[in-house]
Amino acid sequence: MSIKDDIPAIFYEKLSPRGLEAIAKTKEFVDTYCSPADEIYFQQVRTDDRRWKETPPITEHLKKKAKELGLWNMFLSKHYAEGAGYTNLEYGLMAQYLGRSHIAPEATNTNAPDTGNMEILAKYGNDYHKQRYLQPLLDGKIRSAFLMTEKGTSSSNALNISCSAKLNQNGNYVINGVKWFASGAGDPRCKVWLTMCKTGDDDANPYFNHSLLVLDVDKALASGQARVVRPLHVFGYDDAPHGHCEIEFNNYEVSKEEMANVILGQVGQGFAIIQSRLGPGRIHHCMRMIGVGEFALMRVAQRANHRIIFGKPMAKRESFLNAYAQAKIDIQKCRLFVLNAAHHIDIAGAKAAQADIAMAKIETPRTILRILDWGIQMFGAEGVSQDTELSRMYALGRTLRIADGPDEAHLGQLARKESKKFPYVDEYFKRFEENKAKLAKL
């Protein structure tokens, strides 16, 4: 099947020849190397205590192949000198293939949370940050984690973040608090935590009370004042060696001499930085979810070809074909949402594309979840087992309705934005009635 079949016509002419070539190469790489390697990856994950100390060797083999093909760091748009030079739209079309495979994002160094972390280090980092952390991340030599979510706190509103970094009498910052669901923090290669902390108490200016700290993982753990408490499970998966971890800070002290290289940007700039990080990151998740949905449909079609119901393959039954066609429509709807948001970011920036990002983030995970649920039903008990990819994909998809802001937060934000247009509706219908009256006199 040609990649043209996966590119909506309205966007095709907006793609560069180089972008089209990379999209085609990504599809071939995923289909030939990554998807077939997923099962090998999970077989290589250790089942003993070493599962948090070793990573499956198949990953490094695929990373080497991806580099040879030039499929590396495609997510970092052409606005960054460190990036591969593609637009968000072009990367979006690559990511829909990457989403078909569990291992493909890491194989191409486009895996969350590293993508978002690399983007803000590229945008806000100083020379030290870029040399110590950004370049090794871009090279795929280390991993990172983003520490924002907190236990018992409505963390979807960053103003509620309470993990504190307070100045003591020596002028050093002392960090106290508990973070959890820090994805990637279990990986033995994780060397940097980007940590959202409350550094101010100005009620009149709440958006300037938080700062983003760049913490050296090895140093923090060696102090004994920071510790990884446990990996948290997501629908029973601990996702070793990646992990989603609970991390505790107990009077972890950062000296004033270190502060220039620990604070990202400026003190009090944390809220603004994470907003710029989460915009493209939300779209990256949605791009991959398109691939999840497409892969699920291929699995379901394969099942339907061989599942005989009263002497007739399911693939020949009208009820199945109608449901399958509706699923294709729903995926295309989400693809248009996502690619439109990506293109809007390219031409106007993430802030201008906020409404489009929200619509894509709300609709894509819940739509793909419905398709996955239907796919599981088509497989029966096998669908919830480890013998298909669907149950793991479902767990990921369900998590995305919470990650990077829950549906309710995005719906509320979108509703508030749209409700500001309500006064113009009165003016529209006032003119409507006036024009109707004029026409009636003709």
For residues 375 and 299, is the Cβ–Cβ distance under 8 A?
A: yes
- State the CATH number of the domain containing residue 199: 2.40.110.10
Q: Is residue 52 part of a domain?
A: yes
- State the CATH number of the domain containing residue 34: 1.10.540.10
Residues 76 and 7 grouped into a single domain: yes
* pTM strictly above 0.75: yes
Residues 131 and 99 grouped into a single domain: yes
Residues 185 and 299 grouped into a single domain: no
Which is nearest to 146 in space by CA: 115, 110, 102?
115
Q: Is residue 70 part of a domain?
A: yes
CA distance 108 to 102: 12
Residues 252 and 280 grouped into a single domain: no
CA distance 29 to 20: 14
Query: What token pair was written down for 342?
Result: 């990506």
pLDDT in tens, 229-283: 999 999 999 999 999 999 999 999 999 889 889 999 999 999 889 877 766 777 8
Residues 85 and 96 grouped into a single domain: yes
User: Which runs of E-coded beta strand occur in 57-188?
Assistant: 143-147, 164-167, 173-183
Residues 20 and 135 grouped into a single domain: yes
Task: Give the domain extent around 50.
Answer: 3-141
Query: What token pair was written down for 234?
Result: 């997501």
For residues 251 and 174, is the Cβ–Cβ distance under 8 A?
A: yes
pLDDT tens, position by position, for the chain (442 residues)? 678 889 999 999 999 999 999 999 999 999 999 999 999 999 999 988 899 999 999 999 999 999 999 999 999 888 888 889 999 999 999 999 999 999 999 999 999 999 999 999 999 999 999 999 999 999 999 999 999 999 888 877 888 899 999 999 998 999 999 999 999 999 999 999 999 999 999 989 999 999 999 999 999 999 999 999 999 999 999 999 999 999 999 999 999 889 889 999 999 999 889 877 766 777 888 999 999 999 999 999 999 999 988 889 999 999 999 999 999 999 999 999 999 999 999 999 888 999 999 999 999 999 999 999 999 999 999 999 999 999 999 999 999 999 888 889 889 989 999 999 999 999 999 999 999 999 999 8
Grouping H, G, I as helix, E, B as strand and the rest as coil, residue 309 is strand
pLDDT in tens, 203-219: 899 999 999 999 999 99
Q: Are strands 210-216 and 226-231 parallel, antiparallel or unpaired?
A: unpaired
Residues 182 and 310 grouped into a single domain: no
Phi, psi of 166 (to 5 degrees): -115, 145
Q: Which residues pair with 179 in a beta bridge?
A: 150, 247
The count of domains in the chain is 3
For residues 339 and 87, is the Cβ–Cβ distance under 8 A?
A: no
CA distance 422 to 416: 10
Residues 94 and 33 grouped into a single domain: yes
Residues 185 and 229 grouped into a single domain: yes
Distances (CA, A) of 135 to 71, 187, 324: 17, 18, 44
Residues 118 and 160 grouped into a single domain: no
Q: Is residue 435 part of a domain?
A: no
With pLDDT > 90 as the criterion, what percentage of the chain qualifies?
Answer: 83
Biggest distance spanned by C-alpha atoms of the chain: 85
Query: CB under 8 Å to 254, separation ≥6 — which residues?
Result: 165, 172, 173, 174, 175, 213, 215, 262
Residues 359 and 390 grouped into a single domain: yes
Total residues belonging to the chain = 442
Residues 20 and 120 grouped into a single domain: yes
